[in-house]
Chains A and B, each alone.
Chain A
Amino acid sequence: MNSPHIPKHIPAEGYIPPSRQREAPQGGYKWIGQNMKRVEDPRLLTGQGGYIDDVKLPNMAHAAVLRSDRAHARIKRIDVSKARALPGVLLVMTGEDAKKVTGPTAQFASPPVVQYCIAVDRVRHVGEAVAAVVAETRYIAEDACDLIDVEYEDLPVMVDPEVSMSATGDAVLHPERGPTNLAHRHTYAFGPVDEDFKQADLVVERRLYWPRSGGQPLETVGAVADYQSGTGKFNIHTNSSFLNYVGWLVGASLGVPAHKLNLIPMTTGGSFGSKLFTHKVITLAATLARACGRPVKYLEDRLDNTMSCDNHGSDRIYRCKLALKRDGTMLSLRFQVIDDYGAYLQYGYGTHGNSLCQIVGPYRINSVSMELVAVMTNKCQQGAYRGFGSEVTNWMLERMADAAADELKMDRIALRRHNLIQPDQFPYVIPSGNVYDSGNYPAVMDEALRLADLPKWKQIQAEARAQGRHVGIGMATCQERSVFSATEFWSLNPQETPGFTLTSSPESTQIRVDPTGNVQVTLGSPFWGNSPETMAVQLVAEQFQIDPANINVVYADTNSGFNSTGPGGSRFTVMIAGAIVGASIKVKDKMRRIAGKMMEVGPEDLEFRNGHIGVKGVPGMQKGFGEVALYAHYFRLDLPDGDDWSSGLDAAYVYDHPLTTMPAKDRSHLGIFYPIMGHMCHLALVEVHAKTGKVEILDYVAVHDAGTVVNPMTLAGHIRGGTAQGIGTTLYEQFHYDENGQLLTASFADYLIPTLHEMPPAIRVGHVETPSPFTEYGIKGGGEGGRMGAPGALSSAVEDALQRLGVRVDELPLTPRRVRELIRQAEAR
């Protein structure tokens, strides 16, 4: 390893712990790197997916929720008598009723923001639950919701965060938390920002706006809860993905200890972050089930989901200053960010903790200062959406890079290249303290330019311009951090209220070889639309050198699962590889010892090959995998005494984060918390139709470095799908609230997800592989990257297309209407 680059304000001695990698990347793999067809697919292709709505328990009842049509109001009175009287209705619960038996829902803000699964006394956004009904059918439950009469007293509605941050009195959403809607305001400085700005020849300034959009998976969130009064235990089917991490917090809301709660994972119809936790839905279903004495299914409908679930992503106003030298060298970045968090704060300021792990992008920026202004408004709370805040800073940084190039009259690509961190500078510690483990950014850029054939694009552009058409080229060179550490969730909390300062984010597996030599792998994480079974099968096949057909993967509930954080933050493949390597080493060690006894050779002379365990260098001398397995299970008396030789072949392994350290107490740096650093270069060729404002993507290239690739086909699938979401974020999607706090884009008719017609003719994908020195096999994450690169590349391309008109792209989404506005404004100047 090179000697690391460490900024002066960070104590260098021992800053980067030694690597715990056991499987050094060496290439020549049999299963890793193959485009294996997914093992998940046959059941999904035949209608046997087993999603949450497919659960049907005996005697199950159905819930529906009455939601607030007010953005901010006191609940004066709720009359549920007509609803209760409707035949088929089993239970009607208001917030007051629910509060008597169930406490506030789990959340990670500190100081906490109290939230209940049904609103108590006051509603704070349109769509908040006001009452729930359980009935024999969902139809009857929805009928009953219509019969509930709620009397509200309206309160001032806060939709503009810049207004809300100075509001007082009745406009304050959570008076018990303080007299304002400012959830948190603090400046975090990393490195010599003032000194670096004094060295600048140029300071580029921009105000940028990133709108609220969301994952919007096609499956909503649901839970089927069953409470057994005889045991006092809840069994809950869920499409949450944090079940084996913090699922027990739902038990805390319900007032039962963790062992009285079993969460059972179902196949999840997409998440993109929105189903990380889903605690409100689980808590509600469980509360209703306990109260009515029957299993209860609650499944959000589309409006429930859009208005009130965990779908909404970052909603930020940036005021940025980038300090540069005349030759284009970036020195320092200083910004204020106002984040409109909505009415509650379930993940605290984690999305900004996340942003800070790659806040300088791939560039050598010496210092950074961020003023975070977290504001509460009468909108749905934020959840997680692919990028978890870092997609926004990627876009911000790329907008600033373009602005700097334009002001310096430099080529936009040349300015980027001039500032890239060089391959010999890794591991590279950035001003916030996070480490970039490895990379080769110029190689990624070169590959993207090669794939795009830039001279050809420039020719297309020149010809179009000669015809008076508006064609533009845009580039984004961005980071894709992977494998989060839990410190990102709390490192920005106020010092006096540090909150739950957890530092574990493990992943686990249990591997069992059955008597016939087939392998069962149990995952603590659920399926949420990624390829966990395929990843596990390829990795286990590689470890044991057996056929993938001999491997089966199952998902653990919380009764049986070990510590597992679940998918999110592009961590799953890296982390499950760590767990599988750990468990496999244990099982293989025992198999070697047993096979050694069978063949009367030392275990160190044995290797795993082609479904056998054989003597190294002696091709004929081997035992079949199944033979050894049978022996291990049923011939105990042939083996020595001692626990090491107990019957059977199984092992569990909990793999902790491969590289994480604590933040500095004074927050002069945040420690290492997101170090497995992917990288990408996206290039877009677009035409803007000036008369209609439509942006047409003519060609698109995405080159990613996700380290060692386990399955290029599924990684490319993530990149294309993520890019599609990035196209939606850039051009179409927005949760738009009017001045009364009404969500005008709550349905798919108004919230515009790209169809095939909005996609470019192709997204051409390339890979560069720089293996991580810290993870097993050198794998890095790659689940979010598309959405973390596309907004920068597309914004750049649209601005380039309209360059002659002097249009600047400072706000998304670039809907036809906004593009027309920009053109009109430019023409009026």
Chain B
Amino acid sequence: MAEVIVKVKVNGKAYTRAIEPRMLLSDFLREELELKGTHVGCEHGVCGTCTVLVDGETARSCLVFAAQVDGAEVRTIESLAVNGKMNALQEAFWEKHGLQCGFCTPGMLMSATELLEKNPDPSLEEIREAVSSNLCRCTGYYNIVEAVQTAVAKMKEAQA
């Protein structure tokens, strides 16, 4: 199969790769770039486990071809902690027990990241709306909502 050249910035680092046009973004991140934090749950765009940010917007990386992100800026779970220090959102998930098996967690964190970047002071309903885009089979979601609320409060505190 003829290959295409993809130039993409992932977590702030520029990559150029020759890949098959059919390669999915999820496989590109995991196999080509060794970024194993993005997980694949259902492969048909329902569960949201594979969610990453493409130019600041959430995308199901199992439904996007890597070739489609040529020239774009992609962010994954690996971008959240800085120098090994978890950010406020990750800390809040830890504190509020917002995860059990951890498999949906990267997608949840990226969906929540999009929300908080666009809307630093979301209402409960807006948080619930964002969280409802992803499936979690372990927690029943309450602690995830609470974690996002806690992160919002902490981030506001830090800015004050």
Contacts and interface: CB of A to CB of B under 8 A. Distances in A.
A binds B: yes
A45 interface: yes
A646 B54 CA distance: 60
Interface in B1-51: 20, 22-23, 27, 30, 34-44, 46-47, 49
B101 to A, nearest CB: 3
Interface in A248-304: 267-272, 301-302
Nearest to A35: B97
B101 A717 contact: no
A46 B46 CA distance: 23
A748 B103 contact: no
A45 B90 contact: yes
A721 B137 CA distance: 7
Contacts of B138: 270, 529, 717, 721
In this complex, the member of A47, A269, A748 whose beta carbon has the largest number of chain B beta carbons within 10 angstroms is A47
Contact of B140 (A138, A215, A723, A747): A723
Interface stretch (B77-85, B114-122, B151-159): B77-85
B109 A45 contact: yes
B43 A301 contact: yes
A217 B103 contact: yes
Interface string B83-110: 0001000100111010111111110010
A714 interface: yes
Interface in A621-676: none
A45 B86 contact: yes
A46 B41 contact: no
A619 interface: no
Interface string A529-561: 111000000000000000000000000000000
B102 A267 contact: yes
Given A747-B46, A749-B46, A42 B135 contact: no
Nearest to B130: A756
A286 to B, nearest CB: 23
Nearest to A718: B100
Nearest to B24: A139
Contacts of A530: 100
A49 B135 CA distance: 18
Given A42-B86, A748-B135, A763-B140, A218 B41 contact: yes
| Most A Cβ at <10 Å: residue of B35, B100, B144 | B100
Interface residues of B, number: 53
Most buried by B among A718, A721, A725, A747: A721
Dominant SS among interface residues on chain A: loop
B145 A725 contact: no
A219 interface: yes
B29 to A, nearest CB: 10
A534 to B, nearest CB: 10
A757 interface: yes
Nearest to A301: B43
A146 to B, nearest CB: 13
B94 A48 contact: no
Contacts of B123: none
A212 interface: no
A696 B78 CA distance: 38
Contacts of B101: 217-219, 268-271, 528-529
B124 to A, nearest CB: 10
A713 interface: yes
B141 A724 contact: yes
B76 A41 contact: no
A756 B137 CA distance: 11
B34 to A, nearest CB: 8
B39 A720 contact: no
A761 to B, nearest CB: 9
Interface in A749-784: 749, 753, 755-757, 759, 762-763
Q: Which of A49, A528, A753 counts the most B-chain CB atoms under 10 A from its CB?
A: A49
Given A47-B78, A54-B36, A218 B46 contact: no
A212 to B, nearest CB: 17
A316 B103 CA distance: 31
Contact of B132 (A49, A757, A762): A757
Contacts of A714: 97
Contacts of B105: 44-45
A660 B143 CA distance: 37
Nearest to B101: A529
Contact of A763 (B27, B39, B86, B142): B142
28 contacts: A45-B109, A47-B106, A49-B36, A51-B39, A53-B36, A54-B36, A217-B101, A218-B41, A218-B49, A218-B104, A219-B39, A219-B103, A269-B39, A269-B102, A270-B101, A270-B137, A301-B43, A529-B100, A529-B101, A717-B97, A717-B138, A717-B143, A718-B100, A725-B137, A748-B47, A748-B135, A753-B137, A757-B132
Interface of B: 20, 22-23, 27, 30, 34-44, 46-47, 49, 76-78, 80-81, 86, 90, 93-95, 97, 99-106, 109, 128, 131-132, 135-145
